[in-house]
Every structure is written in structure tokens, then in C-alpha cells.
Structure 1
């Protein structure tokens, strides 16, 4: 692969956008003491209160040990409460605390603000096309994962 081809790789652009988004979210979430890697768990727990860690790991396609570490950090920070799962006593059900609920609106506002930064000067039809193309890329990216299972 030539150097010019590498510079124009779509994956490279996506990686740059991902790192920039992490920096932006980290800065916005500083008052709460969590980072861009924590927000994913917090948002999914808020939408699925009572979910157990195993289901959260499956939903996010993330290793259960990583979920356990992230949930522990959020629980130690006062954002999440863990309760023994009545259906599986080896697992915990997850709920947001009052502090966790208070963080969600600022987190969502941060995502909206970041989208405004990214999508400035796009026409509606361009956005529609971009969303469709990105959705197809995600589908393509996940299809080898499905085949490997």
C-alpha cells in the first residue's frame, strides 16, 4: 500500500473522529469524574435499568471482565448501584443512582453538541446518505464477527 493510499483510508478517518470525540467527551465529563469509555455503560444502563452485567456485556459485544471493571468504577464513583440478580445469584442487576441520573442529561447534551460540531455545513440529503453509508459499514464490520461465532 502506498503512503498516499494509507492517508486516504476510511478507517484512519474514523479513528481520528473517534479520538477527537473521546477528547471532547472526556473534557465535558470532567466534573463527574468519568471518561468517554465510561459513558457507553452509563447510557446503556440508563436505557435498561435492572440489566445484569452478562446481558450488558453481550449487548455491547464487550468482554464480561471489562464490563465488571467499568461497572465497579461507576459504582465506586456513585453513578451505578449493583444488586444481586434474583434470577441469577452469581450476577448483579444494574441501576443508576441519583448521581447517575443527573449525569445523563449532560452526557446527552454533550453528544448533541459534538454532533453539531461534526455535522456543521452538511445538507439534509448528505446526512441521510452518510448515515446510511455508516450503517452499512457497521453491518459489514460486524458480519465477519457473526460468522466466527
Structure 2
């Protein structure tokens, strides 16, 4: 019986994750960004001018070429500006006012979406849900330590 419940739980997590990802992608596309561009823009907003192309590539586990393409599009659309760093070895990446407005717009959109997703949940149910997720994450980390395989940060 427990094996059947575990299978249902895994199927539920996967289905819910896909539905959430699809919904978020649609919301991001509606405001004129691609998922990867959006994550990079949010990261730049949080890191400020400290973000570098190399650091972004490492953070999101993507190629520097993919980062270059996303940054080029964000710059063309006026969300970021790039300038040569002080030592002429790297691009300094900064968010523009238009970029900050897009970040705030998307944060508002996500807050509204999150509120809708968890409408009808009591505070206790949310705390139970968080507790379950933390247990699953701890089990994954434990599995990685004992059994190896898997990337450290997915």
C-alpha cells in the first residue's frame, strides 16, 4: 500500500510542477519575456552590478553563449545596460529603470498567482506542506551523500 501512495505522491509532485511551470511560463510570456531572460533579469536585479556573465552561467548552469544571447535580448529591449568593467576584462551589467519596472511587474504577478494557488489553504495546511517539502529535500540531500549521483544544486 505504501508503495502505491509513494507513486501517487511522486506523480502528483511531477504533474503539479509541470502545471506550475507552464502557468508561470505563460505569465512571463504575456509580459514579453522568455523564462530564461526573466530569471536572469531577476538575478541581475538582486545582485546589482555584481552580476557577471560567467557568474550568471554558473548560477543557472547554462552556457556563457546562452547567457550572451539572453543579455543581448534584454539589452536590446532596454531592460539592462552593459559597459566595459574598470579593468576592461568583463562587461558590467546593470538593470535599467525599465528593467526595474519589469521586475516589479513580474513580482506582483507572481504574488497574485501564488495567492491564488494557495487560496483555501489554512495556515496550518501551509505549514504542513512546507514541512513535507523540507523532509523530501532533506531525504534527497541524505541520498546524495550516501549514494552519490545527482547534481548538488538543481
TM exceeds 0.5? Answer: yes
Tell me the residue number matched to 2:78.
78
**CA deviations over 1:87-131 (Å, ceiling 9, x no partner):** 571x32210112112212111101101101111111112222323
Tell me the residue number matched to 1:101.
100
Other structure's SS at 1:57 match: helix
Q: Tell me, which stretches of 5 or more residues in structure 1 are unaligned? A: none
Tell me the residue number matched to 2:29.
26
Structure 2 length-normalised TM? 0.75
Instruction: State the structure with more CA Rg.
Output: 2
Structure 1 length-normalised TM? 0.77
Q: Tell me, which stretches of 5 or more residues in structure 2 are unaligned? A: 1-6, 145-149
Please list, as runs of the form range in 1=range in 2, the aligned pairs for 1:49-128 lying within 5 A after superposition: 49-50=48-49, 51-86=51-86, 89=89, 91-128=90-127
**Structure 1, 127-136 or 55-64: larger mean CA deviation:** 127-136
Whole-angstrom distance in 2 between the partners of 1:87 and 1:137: 45
Report the CA distance between 1:35 and its aligned residue.
3.1
Which structure is higher in RCO with an 8 Å CA cutoff and minimum separation 6? 1
Cα separation, partners in 2 of 1:7 and 1:146, compared to 1, 3 Å: closer
